[in-house]
Structure 1
Amino acid sequence: MCMVIFAPIFAICAFATCGGYIGHLRVRVDCADRKQSNLSINIDFEYPFRLQQVHFQAPLCEKNRQETIFLEGDSSTSAQFYLTVGVLAFLYSLLATIVYIFYQNKYRENNRGPLVDFIVTVVFSLAWLVSTCSWAKVLSDIKTATDPTQVLLLISACRAQTNRCVVMQQPLWSRLNTSVVFGFVNLTLWAGNIWFVYKETGWYKTGQRYPTRSASGKRANSMRQRLYSESSFDQPGESYNHQLYRQQSITVSEGSFGPQIHRQSSLNQPLQSLSLPQTQLGPPTAYSQGSTPKPKGPMIIVNKI
C-alpha cells in the first residue's frame, strides 16, 4: 500500500525538480576607461545542461571590442537518463496501482503478475541507483562549471588588474539539490519494496513449505540419537549379567547344606507354564559301617520346571 501511494508522488517530485530548471548568473565588468564597461552580463543555462552551447558577450576593454565566451561541460546524458527513469517509474507505479485495485485476480493468476512485478521492481531499483549517483556527480560538475569565480576567469578583461569584475547574481541550487534527495528516496522506496513483492511470488511460498531446521533442533536430534545408541549397546550386557546372577543364585555347593539337592530341568518345556516345585519325603536310610557316611536326614528331590 505504501508503494502504491508514495511511489508516484516521489517519482513526480524527482523529475519535476530536475526538468525545466533554469539557472541565472549575472556579472559586471568595469573597464579602466569606463567607456567599454558592461555592467550587466547575463548568463542563463537550463536543462538538459549542455553548457558548451551557452555563450555570452563580454567587453575586452580595448578598442571597443567584445568577445564571445562559451561555458564548458556537457551533462545532458546523465540529466536525461535521470529524468527518463523518473517518468517511467511514475507511469509504471500508476499502472501497478490500477492492476492492484481492479485486476487482483488476474494479477495472481498462474503467479505471472507477482513474478513480472518482482523483476520490474529490481530493474527500477538498479536504475534509480545508477541514475541518482550519476546525476549527483554531474550536478557537482555543473556547479563547478558555473561557479562565478570560474566564469570570471574565462573573461579576458577580468584578468587585467586595472579592470574590475563583480558577480551580481548567482544561480540557486536548492531545486537541483532537492532532486538528488528525491532520487535517493525513490531508490530506498523501490529497493525496500523488493521484499514485499518477493513474498507474493511462488519462490517465497516454496521456501516456506520446507523450512530448515535450526541449529538447536539439530543439536537436540543428534543428542537424542546418541542416547538411543548408547542405550541399545547397554542392553546385551545387562541381560547377560541378569542371567549370570540367576545362575549363581540357583547353584548351591554340595558341602554347604545337609540335604543333597538334585535338580532336573526340562529344556523342552515352555517358559510360560509355571508351577510349584514338587517335593518327595521318605524315611531315613541306614548305611553300613563300610559304606561312605553321608549326611542323614530326609532327602528332598526338587524338580525344576
Structure 2
Amino acid sequence: MDVVNQLVAGGQFRIVKEPLGFIKTLEWLFSIFAFATIGSYSGQFSLGIECSNKTESKPNVKVEFEYPFKLHQEYFEFPTCRGTTSKVFLVGDYSSSAEFFVTVAVFAFLYSLGALMTYIFLQNKYRENNKGPMIDCIVTAVFAFLWLVSSSAWAKGLADIKLATDPELIKDEILACQNPDNKCQEVRDPVMSGLNTSVAFGFLNCVIWLGNLWFVFKETGWTAPFMKYPPPAQEKQPAPDSYSQGQGYAQQDSYGQQGGYQPDYYGQQPEYNQQGFSQGTYSQQGVPTSFSNQM
C-alpha cells in the first residue's frame, strides 16, 4: 500500500488520465470483455416429438453446444417412433473463426496490459531514442487490423451458427419428423445474446485501437517534418517620441544660446601696459589682430 501511495504521490499514475494511458486502459478492459463473452459461452436448445405411438414420444429433447463450436461433433439422441433412437449430429465446424477471435483478444489483452505497465513504471525507457513509441505505433496498427478481420470473420461464423442451431431447420432434417403421423416442434431457442455481445465488443475494440493509433503516432515524432511552424515574431522598435525629440532639440538650442559653445572671436584677452592699453588679438574676422597706443 505504501508503494502505491508513493507512486501516486510521485505522479506515476498520471499517465492513466492522459489520452494515451486512458485509451490503453480501455483496450485492456474491452479485450477482456471480448474473449470472456465468447470463451465462456454454452448454449442449449430443445426439441419435442409426439409419435403416433404415445409411449415413444419425447416432449423435451435438449441439445447443448459450446465454444469452440465444433458442431459436427455435437449430437443428440432422438426417437425414431419405431421403438429405437438415432443419433442426430449438428452440422458445421466454426471453431476457426471463433478461436481466431479469442486469440486476437487474448494477445491484445496481454499487450495492452504490458504497454500500460510500461507507461507507468518505465516511462523513461519507453521514450528513450523514441523506439518505444515507434514499436507501440506499429503494434497498435497491427492489432487494429486484426480486430477488424477477426470480428468480421466471427460475425460471419456466428450467423452460420445461428442457422445450424435453429430448431426449426434441424427438425426438418430428422427422419421421424418427416413422417406426417409424427409431430415435431421446437420447445426452446438457443440464447445468443452473449455471442452477439462478443461481436459488438470485437468491433468496438477495433474502433478503440484505431483511435489510439493517432495518439501513439503523435508520440513517435514522425509528424515533425510535416508540421509548419509560424515564423518567429520580430521585435518591434519603439516608435520615436516626437515630444521627447522636440524637447531635446529645444534644450540643445537653448544651450547653444544661453551658455553653450560660443565661437571665440578673441583669441586672447588684451594685455594692458602701463598706459592702460595693451596689445590684444582678435579672432580672424578681417579686423586687425593687434593695436598699440599711438601717442
Gaps of 5+ in 2: 1-20, 232-295
Distance 1:147 1:212, change over 3 A: farther
Please say if residues 24 and 212 of structure 2, whose CA atoms lie closer than 8 Å, have aligned partners that are also in contact. no
In structure 1, runs of 5+ residues without a counterpart are 214-305
Q: Post-superposition shift, 1:2?
A: 2.4
Q: Aligned partners of 2:173 and 2:77: how far apart in 1?
A: 11
- How far the C-alpha of 1:32 sits from its partner, in A, is 0.6
Partner of 2:222, secondary structure, is: helix
Whether 1:153 aligns to 2:172 is yes
Q: 2-side partners of 1:75 and 1:181: how far apart?
A: 18
Contact 2:47 2:188 in 1 (8 A): yes
Kindly provide the amino acid, as one letter, of the partner of residue 173 in structure 2: L
Aligned pairs for 1:122-201 within 5 A: 122-201=141-220
| 1:231-265 superposed Cα distances (whole Å, 9 cap, x missing partner) | xxxxxxxxxxxxxxxxxxxxxxxxxxxxxxxxxxx
- With the length of structure 2 as denominator, give the TM-score of the two structures: 0.69
How far residue 102 of structure 1 moved from its aligned partner, in angstroms, is 1.0
Question: What SS is found at the alignment partner of 1:149?
Answer: helix
Report the equivalent of 1:53: 73
Could you tell me which amino acid in structure 2 is paired with residue 101 of structure 1? I
Matched, 1:20 2:48: no
Aligned to 1:72: 91
Q: Structure 2 residue aligned with 1:102, among 98, 121, 136?
A: 121
Question: Once the 2 structures are TM-superposed, how far is the Cα of residue 206 of structure 1 from its aligned partner?
Answer: 3.0
How much does 1:35 deviate?
A: 2.0
Q: Which runs of 4+ in 1 moved over 3 A?
A: 210-213
Q: How high is the TM-score relative to the length of structure 1?
A: 0.67
User: What pairs with 1:1-305 in structure 2 (closer than 5 Å)?
Assistant: 1-62=21-82, 64-208=83-227
1:138 maps to amino acid = G
Q: Which amino acid aligns with 1:13?
A: F
CA distance in 2, matches of 1:74, 1:183: 21
CA distance in 1, matches of 2:88, 2:212: 48
Deviation at 1:21, TM superposition (A): 0.6
Larger Rg: 1
User: In percent, how many aligned pairs have the same letter?
Assistant: 47
In the TM superposition, what whole-angstrom CA distance separates every residue of 1:63-112 from its partner, at most 9, and x where no partner exists? x1221110101000000010011111111111111111111111111110
1:117 and 1:65, CA in 2 relative to 1: closer, same or farther beyond 3 A? same
Q: Distance in 1 between matches of 2:32 and 2:160?
A: 24
* C-alpha distance in structure 1 between counterparts of 2:213 and 2:26, whole Å: 15
In angstroms, what is the RMSD of aligned CA positions? 1.5
Tell me how many residue pairs correspond in the alignment. Answer: 211
Q: Distance in 1 between matches of 2:114 and 2:23?
A: 12
SS across alignment from 1:32: coil
- Using the alignment, how far apart are the partners of 2:118 and 2:27 within structure 1? 15
- Displacement of 1:151 in angstroms is 1.1
Q: Distance in 1 between matches of 2:196 and 2:136?
A: 31
CA displacement at 1:211 relative to structure 2: 6.1
* Amino acid in the other structure paired with 1:183: G
Quote the Cα distance in structure 1 between the aligned partners of 2:147 and 2:22.
18
1:207 positional shift: 2.5
Paired residue secondary structure (1:43):
strand
Q: Distance in 2 between matches of 1:142 and 1:211?
A: 56
Q: Is the 8 A contact 2:47 2:60 kept in 1?
A: yes
Provide Cα deviations, 1:167-216, integer angstroms capped at 9, x if missing partner.
Answer: 111110111001111111100000111111111113112322x5699xxx
Q: Residues 60, 212 of structure 1: CA spacing in aligned structure 2 closer, same or farther, 3 A cutoff?
A: farther
Task: Determine the C-alpha separation between the residues in 1 that align with 2:46 and 2:119.
Answer: 51
Inter-CA distance 33–129: structure 2 relative to 1 (3 Å threshold): same
